[in-house]
Every structure is written in C-alpha cells, then in structure tokens.
C-alpha cells in the first residue's frame, strides 16, 4: 500500500468510531486515512460494549455494514429490572414509538467495518503509532506517526481524534482551551464471559443489598455477566463457584427462576468513570467518542455516543465538501455535547440507582428502591428510562 502524504480527513484510531466515520466519508466521496496504533488481531478482539441503539444500527445499515448484524444480532425489545426480590420489564417499543436495541458485540461491529475498509475503502494502517498532532490552529494540521519502523507525516485538511481516552489527539488542543468534568465511582464491574446459553431472553439489571449485577449475552450460546465489586479487585481471587453463587444471590426473585452456570472463558475487572471534555473541536482538530467523553457502562451508551458523534461529523464534512459551508463543522461540538450530557446523566442515573456504596445509609437505599418502585408504577417514569436507553435522536 502506498502511504499517502496528504488527505482531506486524517482519522486517528481504528475502533468503531474511526472506522464508521471512514466508511461514511468514503461513501460521500471524501478521502481519508485511518491510523491505528494496534495490530488487526488486537483491534478485532478488544472487548467492549455489546448494545446498539436504533440510531447506531440505522447508520451501520446505511453504510453497508449491517449484513451480519441483521443475520446474527439479537433484537431486544426491553430490559428487566430486579430489586427487593421482584422484577419489572421495561417495554421499549411500547414506550418509545417502536424503537428497540440490538445485542451485537463491538468486536463484531469492528470486524465488519474493517472487512469493508480493506475491501472497498480508504487506507487503513495498522501498527501506525501516532506520536503527535501539530498545527491544529492552521489550515493544514499534521499527524506525526511511525509505521513499519519509519517516521512519517500526514498533512490533513482536518484531523479527527477517535483514539480513546488515553489517545494523543486531545493533547493537540492547548490545555488553556479545554474544560473537563469528571466523576469516579467507588466500585468496579467484574465481568465474565461464559460458554452457557443465557438464563434470560433480555438483559437483567439487578439492585441488591450485596451490590449490582447484570445478566447480558453475546450470542444464544454465550453469556456475559457482571458483578459490582470494590475497586482494585483481583479477578483471579474469585473461584468459578463463588462467581455463580454470588450472581444467583443478586438476581434472586420470588419465583422459580434459576441462573444456569457454565464454563467461564474470560474474566476482567473494569473501573468506572464519567468524563467530558469541552469543546470537542479546536481549529482543524475534532474529537469523537472516548477521546471526548467516557460514560459508565450501566446505560449502554459508550459505543452509541461515539457513533452519534461521527454521524453528526460525517454530515458536516459532506456539507462542507458539497457547498463549502463550515456551519456544520462549526456547530459540531455544541450539537454533540447536548446529547453527550444527556447520556452522561442517564448513565449516572442508572449507575447510582442500581449500585450500592460501601458506606451506604438506609436513607440512600430507600431512595433507590423508591425510584425503582416509581419506574414500575408510572408509565411516564418508565418511558423516560426507555427513551434514554433505546437512544435519543442524533443531531
């Protein structure tokens, strides 16, 4: 592959945000280059989110990346909440005018987009480590990177940082121009993959005196489950029996429902944080996805927020190349941040309603249970949860 020296849009990061943006730009006739620091195997097996909102699915379909999703993705029309040994189902289509969500792992989204990119798309360079981005305030920002042992530069009309929270593109924006807001949480998620069919048809979110638990799935034969644990927990300190017993305890309701255990194939502890940086644009450098914002996973918003960012961005680039107007690019940060802050609030709400803290008082617990009772008894409260979970309009 000939390594280009210039492109219209330089995209740093080959995760779902960068790849979806590249696909949308390609279909709009806008040239771009994607630089990804890791190798293809790592990127395709990087475990992350598994819930896709309606808007994300619509975008994947529009760019021809949903054939396998439509065959293999699991359509979910709701979630189940559990607390005080009772359960309540939230019916998404009934409460949102027909919207729903899909269970389809980020690894599979990335595989589908990479296959398209390599077959019919602009350059995608793996193991291209970006070291700096300079000239953000000029009309020709430069990406400095190393690929195949050679130091290279790529001049761009615009640079988009899709390189995650620890990426380098955000550092191209002067610190004096950035405002950040952050919240950390006093607990983590202990996540497991298990080769056992799910014990439920839809996701179960459980509030328990012992802590939060989530039952999800990857496929009809692979379950994905999570336990709230203290920060710093060693995943190897739990035996398989302890994990399944604790999950069963936290999911317990007054019925004959039972959790089916199975062989655990992966385990990891995931810390939780909320983070937003503003603005999402400075000069000719723009941020998308985790480079600009992080949400705790309780609301299933991470991948979907990233997709929403690049949908807005692709439209803005299309308008710019077609008409010369930068109105969409100028409005990009403000447009996206409205949705970002709504998703941050929803993710915080789901997290603080369903998790318990080490020093939690009886008063705090009663507030949580009262909120869950309200959702179960009020169509308005249930609709607010359903609309946010299934996904608010993009742009």
Note down pLDDT in tens along the chain; length 395 residues.
567 899 999 999 999 999 999 999 999 999 999 999 999 999 998 877 789 999 999 999 999 999 999 999 999 999 999 999 999 999 999 999 999 999 999 999 999 999 999 998 889 999 999 999 999 999 999 999 999 999 999 999 999 999 999 999 999 999 999 999 999 999 999 999 999 999 999 999 999 999 999 999 999 999 999 999 999 999 999 999 999 999 999 999 999 999 999 999 999 999 999 999 999 999 999 999 999 999 999 999 999 999 999 999 999 999 999 999 999 999 999 999 999 999 999 999 999 999 999 899 999 999 999 999 999 999 999 999 999 999 998 87
Dihedral-angle region of residue 316 (phi above 0 means left; psi in -120 to 50 means alpha; beta otherwise): alpha
Is 355 designated active site?
no
- 329, 334, 306, 333: which is closest to 319 by C-alpha? 329
CATH 3.50.50.60 assigned to domain 6-76+102-182+273-350? The reply is yes
- Please tell me what DSSP assigns to residue 372: H
Catalytic choice (145, 185, 205, 332): 205
What is the pLDDT at residue 358? 87
Catalytic choice (123, 297, 332, 355): 297
Q: How far is CA 289 from CA 277, 306, 333, in A?
A: 11, 4, 12
Catalytic choice (26, 207, 301, 355): 301
Is 104 designated active site?
no
Catalytic choice (76, 207, 293, 355): 76
Predicted structure pTM score:
0.95
Tell me how far apart the alpha carbons of residues 172 and 159 are, in angstroms, rounded to a whole number. 10
- 89, 83, 85: which is closest to 355 by C-alpha? 83
Catalytic choice (145, 187, 332, 389): 389
Is 187 designated active site?
no
DSSP output for 207-238? --TT--EEEEEEETTEEEEEEEE-TT--GGGS
Tell me how far apart the alpha carbons of residues 47 and 19 are, in angstroms, rounded to a whole number. 16
- 333, 11, 314: which is closest to 158 by C-alpha? 11
Tell me how far apart the alpha carbons of residues 291 and 154 are, in angstroms, rounded to a whole number. 20
Is 111 designated active site?
no
């Amino acid at each position: 592959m000939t390594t280009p020296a210039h492109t219209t849009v330089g995209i740093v990061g080959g995760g779902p945000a960068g790849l979806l943006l590249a696909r949308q730009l390609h279909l709009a006739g806008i040239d771009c280059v994607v630089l990804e620091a890791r190798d293809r195997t790592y990127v395709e097996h990087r475990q992350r989110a598994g819930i896709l909102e309606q808007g994300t699915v619509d975008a994947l379909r529009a760019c021809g990346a949903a054939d396998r999703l439509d065959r293999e993705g699991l359509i979910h029309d709701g979630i189940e909440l559990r607390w005080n040994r009772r359960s309540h189902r939230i019916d998404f289509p009934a409460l949102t005018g027909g919207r729903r969500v899909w269970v389809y792992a980020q690894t599979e989204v990335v595989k589908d987009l990479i296959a398209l990119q390599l077959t019919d798309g602009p350059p995608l360079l793996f193991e291209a480590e970006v070291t700096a981005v300079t000239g953000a305030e000029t009309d020709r920002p430069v990406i400095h990177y190393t690929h195949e042992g050679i130091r290279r530069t790529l001049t761009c009309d615009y640079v988009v940082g899709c390189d995650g929270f620890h990426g380098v593109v955000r550092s191209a924006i002067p610190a004096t121009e950035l405002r950040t807001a952050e919240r950390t949480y006093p607990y983590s998620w202990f996540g497991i993959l298990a080769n056992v069919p799910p014990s439920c048809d839809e996701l179960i979110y459980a509030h328990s005196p012992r802590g939060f638990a989530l039952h999800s799935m990857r496929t009809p034969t692979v379950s994905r489950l999570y336990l709230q644990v203290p920060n710093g927990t060693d995943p190897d300190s739990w035996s398989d029996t302890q994990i399944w017993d604790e999950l069963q305890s936290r999911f317990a309701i007054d019925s004959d429902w039972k959790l089916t255990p199975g062989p655990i194939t992966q385990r990891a502890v995931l810390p939780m944080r909320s983070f937003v940086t503003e603005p999402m644009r400075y000069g000719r450098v723009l941020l998308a996805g985790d480079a600009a914002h992080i949400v705790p996973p309780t609301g299933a918003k991470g991948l979907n927020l990233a997709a929403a960012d690049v949908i807005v961005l692709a439209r803005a680039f299309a308008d710019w190349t077609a008409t010369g107007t930068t109105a969409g690019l100028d409005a990009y940060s403000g447009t996206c941040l409205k949705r970002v802050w709504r998703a941050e609030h929803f993710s915080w709400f789901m997290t603080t309603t369903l998790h318990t803290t080490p020093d939690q008082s009886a008063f705090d617990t009663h507030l949580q249970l009262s909120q869950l009772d309200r959702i179960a008894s009020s169509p308005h409260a249930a609709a607010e949860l359903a609309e946010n979970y299934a996904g608010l309009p993009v742009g």
